[in-house]
């Protein structure tokens, strides 16, 4: 009886969408604890000074120092403006921003990865539409770098970093297995895996414990088979059961059947001394599917491969809707709070100036978002990634940022089960759809 009554109650409330709910709660200014955190952001003091609060996640040197320097330079040029920098660690930043979004009071300038979270903030009316204000100086940006921040052809953030996932491979091991050039099709890829195995080499390093590295395979195969439009539509309709997604899972299963991963991969982490990056960096596996940060982590967790390290894009799948030039990745950008002082946008423009962008590329290993700063790249690995990004004809943001957290996690979980052999490709699409549907209500 009780259950019946509450079900009808649930039905009546589902009409109120999540997004409107968020807007309503944001307007109501809930989560008062968060307010104190940045309540001072727009309060100019008595001497007529404007304070711009700038939240970022740049905790590593030398980037942190350079960013702070840039803020001081801006203050020197604009004596009436103070830039207040708040730097938080990744996870702390995420949870803090969740609270701030609820309170409806965001920092003037804040770090964003784009995708679903930024969309929620936009729908709640908290983010400034930057389309017309930045178009003049972002015209030469790599198109892929802006995609994550564009909704309905409006731009809501300015990127400063962009990257993508692809195969990092050990040229020496490929040569040893007699593979002349990196594969560009899925069947050639499977052949290469077979050749590596025959040569007694572990073809792929995978961090099974952390799940997200395995998800990259499914995501890329879905992009290649079902296509970018299908992925967008699947998210909108909360339906991942289309045939393309099942076929993608089937392709992944074909790969898993070859037993290509290192011993004990199901328990391996990513960056620990016995993890995926270390196996790759120590030459114990021939390749890994990973983002542009892979060389750094390989050097950190293992010995690093130096000149033997190469990069190739995820192969195209025969008969699939996606192209070899469509990339899967993400980056970082700065969004501006609705109603922030004009100085906030001025600072973003100042921050994006060519000579500073080149400095960041040279000294902090960022991949430039502006084609103009391309010349500053010296690292061959990052140049390879940058070239793929410049050529990109399509872009898919990391699934855990593009989709709701529960959907992203379910994809990670289900794909991990597929790789472990306990879920079929159909079951993966059904589980993901089920979670997506329950999140949509």
Partner 1 sequence: MWGTGRSPGDPAVPTGGPARAPVLHRVRDWLSAFVFTVPALTLFGLLVLVPMGYAGYISFFNWGGFGSLTDAVGFDNYTRLFKDPVFLGDLWRGGLLIGLSVVLQLPFALAVAVLLNQKLRGRAVYRMLFFAPYILSEVITGVLFGMIFAPGDGLADKVLDAVGLGGLGGDWFAGRDTVLPTLFLVMTWKYFGFHMMLYLAGLQGIPAVLHEAARIDGAGSWQRFRHITLPLLAPTLRISVFLSVIYAIQLFDMVWVTTAGGPDHASETMAVSMVQYGFKRFQMGYASAISVVMFLISLVFALAYQRFVLRRDTEGAVTTMRANR
- Contact residues toward partner 1 (CB under 8 A) are 2-3, 5-7, 9-10, 13-14, 16, 18, 21-22, 24-26, 28, 30-31, 98-99, 101-102, 208-211, 263-269, 272-274, 404-406, 409-410, 416-417, 420, 422, 435, 438, 441
Provide the minimum distance between the beta carbon of 216 and partner 1 in the complex, in angstroms, as a whole number: 17
**Among 99, 19, 24, which residue's Cα sits nearest to residue 55?**
99
Please give the structure tokens belonging to residue 7. 């079900």
CB of 278 or CB of 357, closer to partner 1: 278
Provide the minimum distance between the beta carbon of 384 and partner 1 in the complex, in angstroms, as a whole number: 30
The partner residues of 287 in beta bridges, in order of sequence, read: 169, 204
Question: Can you tell me the distance from the alpha carbon of 416 to that of 266, in angstroms, rounded to the nearest whole number?
Answer: 9
Number of other residues whose CB lies within 10 A of the CB of residue 71: 20
Provide the minimum distance between the beta carbon of 163 and partner 1 in the complex, in angstroms, as a whole number: 23
Segments of 245-344 assigned E as strands: 285-290, 309-312, 326-336
**Among 333, 287, 286, which residue's Cα sits nearest to residue 313?**
287
CB of 122 or CB of 130, closer to partner 1: 122
Provide the minimum distance between the beta carbon of 22 and partner 1 in the complex, in angstroms, as a whole number: 5
Residue with tokens 């995609």: 147
Number of other residues whose CB lies within 10 A of the CB of residue 197: 16
CB of 84 or CB of 94, closer to partner 1: 94
Provide the minimum distance between the beta carbon of 96 and partner 1 in the complex, in angstroms, as a whole number: 12
Provide the minimum distance between the beta carbon of 75 and partner 1 in the complex, in angstroms, as a whole number: 34
Provide the minimum distance between the beta carbon of 208 and partner 1 in the complex, in angstroms, as a whole number: 6
CB of 141 or CB of 265, closer to partner 1: 265
Provide the minimum distance between the beta carbon of 439 and partner 1 in the complex, in angstroms, as a whole number: 8
Please give the structure tokens belonging to residue 406. 């529960």
Q: What is the dihedral of CA 268, 164, 91, 364, to 10 degrees?
A: 110
Largest Cα separation within the chain, whole Å, is: 75
Number of other residues whose CB lies within 10 A of the CB of residue 382: 20
**Backbone dihedral angles phi then psi of residue 202, each to the nearest 5 degrees:** -70, 115
CB of 88 or CB of 99, closer to partner 1: 99
CB of 62 or CB of 405, closer to partner 1: 405
Question: Can you tell me the distance from the alpha carbon of 291 to that of 328, in angstroms, rounded to the nearest whole number?
Answer: 9
Burial of 79 (0-12, 13-18, 19+ CB in 10 A): exposed
Please give the structure tokens belonging to residue 56. 């970022």
**Backbone dihedral angles phi then psi of residue 327, each to the nearest 5 degrees:** -110, 155
């Amino acid at each position: 009886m009780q259950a019946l009554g509450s079900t009808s109650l649930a039905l009546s409330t589902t009409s109120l969408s999540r997004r409107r709910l968020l807007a309503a709660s944001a307007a109501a200014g809930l989560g008062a604890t968060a307010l104190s955190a940045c309540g001072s952001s727009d309060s100019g003091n008595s001497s007529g000074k404007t304070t711009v609060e700038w939240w970022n996640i740049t905790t590593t040197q030398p980037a942190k120092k350079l960013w702070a320097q840039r803020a001081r330079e801006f203050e020197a040029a604009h004596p009436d403006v103070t830039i207040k920098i708040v730097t938080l660690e990744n996870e702390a930043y995420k949870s803090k921003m969740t609270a701030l979004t609820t309170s409806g009071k965001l920092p003037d300038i804040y770090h964003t990865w784009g995708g679903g979270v930024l969309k929620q903030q936009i729908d709640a009316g908290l983010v400034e539409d930057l389309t017309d204000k930045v178009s003049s100086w972002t015209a030469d940006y790599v198109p892929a770098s802006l995609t994550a921040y564009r909704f309905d052809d409006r731009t809501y953030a300015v990127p400063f970093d962009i990257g993508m996932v692809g195969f990092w491979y050990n040229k020496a091991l490929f040569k040893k297995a007699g593979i002349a050039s990196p594969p560009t099709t899925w069947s050639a890829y499977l052949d290469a895996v077979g050749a590596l195995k025959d040569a007694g080499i572990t073809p792929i390093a995978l961090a099974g414990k952390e799940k997200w590295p395995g998800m990259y395979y499914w995501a890329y195969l879905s992009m290649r088979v079902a296509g970018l439009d299908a992925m967008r539509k699947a998210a909108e309709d909360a339906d991942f059961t289309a045939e393309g997604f099942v076929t993608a899972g089937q392709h992944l299963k074909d790969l898993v059947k070859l037993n290509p991963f290192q011993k004990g991969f199901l328990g391996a982490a990513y960056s620990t001394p016995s993890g995926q990056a270390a196996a790759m960096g120590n030459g114990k596996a021939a390749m890994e599917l990973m983002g542009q940060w892979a060389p750094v982590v390989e050097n950190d967790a293992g010995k690093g491969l130096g000149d033997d390290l190469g990069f190739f894009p995820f192969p195209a799948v025969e008969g699939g809707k996606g192209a070899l030039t469509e990339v899967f990745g993400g980056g970082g950008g700065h969004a501006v709070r609705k109603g922030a002082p004009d100085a906030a946008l001025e600072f973003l423009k100042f921050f994006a100036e060519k000579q500073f962008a080149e400095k960041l590329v040279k000294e902090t290993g960022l991949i430039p978002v502006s084609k103009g700063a391309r010349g500053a790249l010296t690292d061959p690995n990052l140049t390879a990634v940058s070239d793929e990004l410049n050529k990109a004809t399509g872009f898919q943001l990391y699934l855990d940022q593009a989709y709701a957290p529960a959907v992203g996690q379910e994809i990670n979980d289900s794909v991990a089960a597929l790789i472990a052999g306990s879920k079929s490709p159909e079951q993966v699409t059904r589980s993901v759809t089920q979670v997506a549907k329950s999140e949509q209500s």
